[in-house]
Chain A
Amino acid sequence: MSVAADERHGDRGGRGILSTYGRDGLIQIVLIANSVIMLFPVVIMVFSGFKTNMEIFQAPFRIPDFTDIGNFVTMATQTNFLRYLLNSLLVTGTALLATGILGIMAAYALARYTFAGASFILLFFMSGLMLPLKLAVIPLFILFRDLGILDSYWALIAIYTAMGLPSTVFILTGFIRTLPSELEDAARMDGASEARILWQIMLPLCRPALVIAGIYNLVPIWNDFFFPLVFIQTDALKTLPQGLTTFIGEYSTDYGAMFAGLTLAAAPITLLYIALSRQFINGMTSGAVK
């Protein structure tokens, strides 16, 4: 017993600094190795976009001549890339706006007023958090056909709005409940209408929560491939991920051009992520971190 205790103490005194440095060194090696594994493929993708087939084959890891933007010019001018980008912006933007507006309406009602059935309605929204909507794609297909919005932006906007609503209501309701109601009460005393209070007082206060909810929904909506695959046929209406499959198909023997296309497609969200990495990480893990 005492021997063991002595050994432990001896241990601590004997290798204290050394073992700490050794352990931290090992941790650094793990982290650096992992970051290399994470970034190396992305870097190779970008590099290859500046190369010809021959260069990719002969010197796959060499740093390319970055002034050689032929592949990118081909992508931007010979394909519908810019159209796809515009479609993605339009669909994602509209869906996020609709989600935000509908979300704050529901959240404000649920968080600030007490009425019969409020908790049931909250539960109703929550149930949408766990349901894999992909598995309801057949009825959605038939519904959109009946509504006459199959193969149009509206099909995607509708499904993405519905997809984003539960998490938005969840995040905003939780947030509004933590806000003190003095400001609203004061405004009410001054005779402001309920709509004005929502628009001019709640909305600005909710901005941080709206950003979290927005990012939480932005990434899956912007990146979605499944719903456009089922709902969109017309090439001019395709979103970026779906459009990628078209131009990869067209350029299937030109490796440089394919890598250039992938790089261009990855660029918008990557740049946004680098600029707002903290918000992205907080936003995307917000559903999982309580």
Chain B
Amino acid sequence: MPVVHYDSEAVEGEALPPTRRRFTRRGAWISFLLIPPIAVMALFVVYPILSALAYAFYDWTGLRREGFVGLENFRRVLFEPPYAAITWNAFQHNVIVFFVLMVVQNGVGFLLAWCLWRELPGARFHRVAVFLPVVLSTVIIGYMWKLFFHPIFGVVNQLLELVGLGALAQPWLGQSDTALGALILVNAWAWVGFPTLVFLAGLQRIPTEVLEAARMETDSEWTITRRIVWPLVAPSTTVVFILLFIGSFNWFELPYIMVGLDGSPFGSTDVLGLVFYRTAFGNVSAGVQDFGLGSALAVLMFLFIAVFATGWTLYLRKRELDV
């Protein structure tokens, strides 16, 4: 062992001049490989995100940055009327969206994954079917369902009529108490394939010996699922939960397409993404755009998502290790 060590050192010592030359050429080659991708990331990801933080502390007139105002923009979006009421109203809707999707989207996703995991005839087809809406643009999905929810032409009401539930037919997107629910269901329809296939991949990684051993102990699929399967898919759960959390608090495209920039009717579908866009880029009803307030909202959303997502990930990872 020592001999080899001395040997190699000796060789390297002898070959110093060529090694040095090769070393610099190697360095140049590595720099050539790394500098372009790092530059793209620095210019279009890191710099904008850091600037977003800075912009929130300035006063803005249109696209022009004025004086430094400290935490004033934050104070206004959080505590000053009329911004405060709008912000908190939207935040509440994001919270509702998150919790309902957690149950509907991830819950149904797990159930479907469990069913697909049995590999019964036709499972391949069902797997492709459930994932189809995931690859479609939210714009297509949003418009499609907006037309389906049309009070007169829409198939939702026509279907209710057809099965004798015509009394339930209503302008789903036009009333405050059904609009948000309708949006959430459309989101669940569109995205349920994602948690389904992530859970399925998790289920397929459970070793068969573990399941066989469990089946020797009990006949109850419920017990096996709850005690053995659920803890073993914990890594999938972590990913699915965190991505849903980030998605729910960034929600923008679907409400924008289906109910418009104002979260109509009467702000009942307003969410932070819409408020942010309206504040930053203006809209028809309130033409003014304010990059300062917009940046403050972006920073608050970013911090909220980052802090909770990180904390929750750590908690869920710990849970993965515990089992």
Contacts and interface: CB of A to CB of B under 8 A. Distances in A.
Interface in A267-284: 269-270, 273-274, 277, 280-281, 284
25 contacts: A24-B118, A31-B116, A31-B122, A34-B130, A37-B189, A38-B132, A41-B189, A45-B144, A56-B153, A109-B33, A125-B41, A130-B246, A135-B52, A137-B298, A139-B49, A143-B43, A158-B44, A194-B29, A259-B144, A270-B136, A277-B131, A281-B131, A281-B197, A284-B135, A288-B198
Interface string B190-221: 00011001100110000000000000001101
A245 B30 CA distance: 45
A35 B122 CA distance: 11
A278 to B, nearest CB: 9
B55 A138 contact: yes
A244 B240 contact: no
B197 A285 contact: yes
Contacts of B235: 290
Contact of A139 (B29, B52, B281, B309): B52
Interface string A42-80: 101100100001001100110000000000000000000
Contacts of A138: 52, 55, 280, 291, 294-295, 298
Contact of B201 (A53, A273, A285): A285
Interface stretch (A159-167, A175-183, A203-211): A159-167
Interface stretch (B9-17, B79-87, B93-101, B250-258): B250-258
Most-contacted residue by chain A among B51, B139, B148, B299 (CB, 10 A): B139
Given A38-B129, A41-B144, A135-B302, A121 B116 contact: no
Interface residues of A, number: 92
A136 B120 contact: no
B311 interface: no
A18 to B, nearest CB: 13
Contacts of B219: 8, 11-12
Given A23-B221, A258-B147, A136 B298 contact: yes
Contacts of A274: 128
B112 interface: yes
Given A103-B37, A105-B36, A281-B127, A136 B51 contact: yes
Interface in A1-55: 8, 11-12, 23-24, 27-28, 30-32, 34-35, 37-39, 41-42, 44-45, 48, 53
Interface in B159-182: 162
A98 B147 CA distance: 38
The 7 closest A-B pairs by CB, nearest first: A162-B44, A139-B51, A223-B137, A136-B48, A109-B33, A139-B48, A241-B139
B298 A135 contact: yes
B33 A255 contact: no
Given A38-B189, A258-B147, 5 more contacts: A45-B144, A61-B158, A165-B41, A277-B131, A284-B194
Interface residues of B, number: 91
Given A131-B49, A223-B136, A245 B257 contact: yes
A136 B49 contact: yes
Contact of A285 (B52, B150, B198, B301): B198
B54 to A, nearest CB: 8
Contacts of B158: 60-61
Contacts of A242: 139
B26 A113 contact: yes
A106 interface: yes
Nearest to A277: B128
A93 interface: no
B48 A105 contact: no
A147 to B, nearest CB: 9
A99 B29 CA distance: 19
A86 interface: no
A125 to B, nearest CB: 7
B123 A31 contact: yes
Contacts of A165: 37, 40-41
Contacts of B236: 288-289
B239 interface: yes
Nearest to A222: B137
Contacts of B118: 24, 27
A248 B143 contact: yes
Interface string A110-146: 1001010000010011001011111111111011010
A162 B41 CA distance: 6
B147 A255 contact: yes
B138 interface: yes
A225 B116 CA distance: 32
B314 interface: no
Query: Most chain-A CB neighbours within 10 Å: which of B26, B143, B236, B276?
Result: B143
A108 B281 CA distance: 41
Nearest to B27: A115
B288 interface: no
A29 to B, nearest CB: 10
Contacts of A290: 235
Contacts of A45: 144
A159 B295 contact: no
A61 B154 CA distance: 11
Contacts of B253: 225-226
Contacts of A89: none
B252 A219 contact: no
A106 B34 contact: yes
A23 B222 CA distance: 12
A237 to B, nearest CB: 17
Given A31-B115, A194-B29, A289-B198, A284 B134 contact: yes
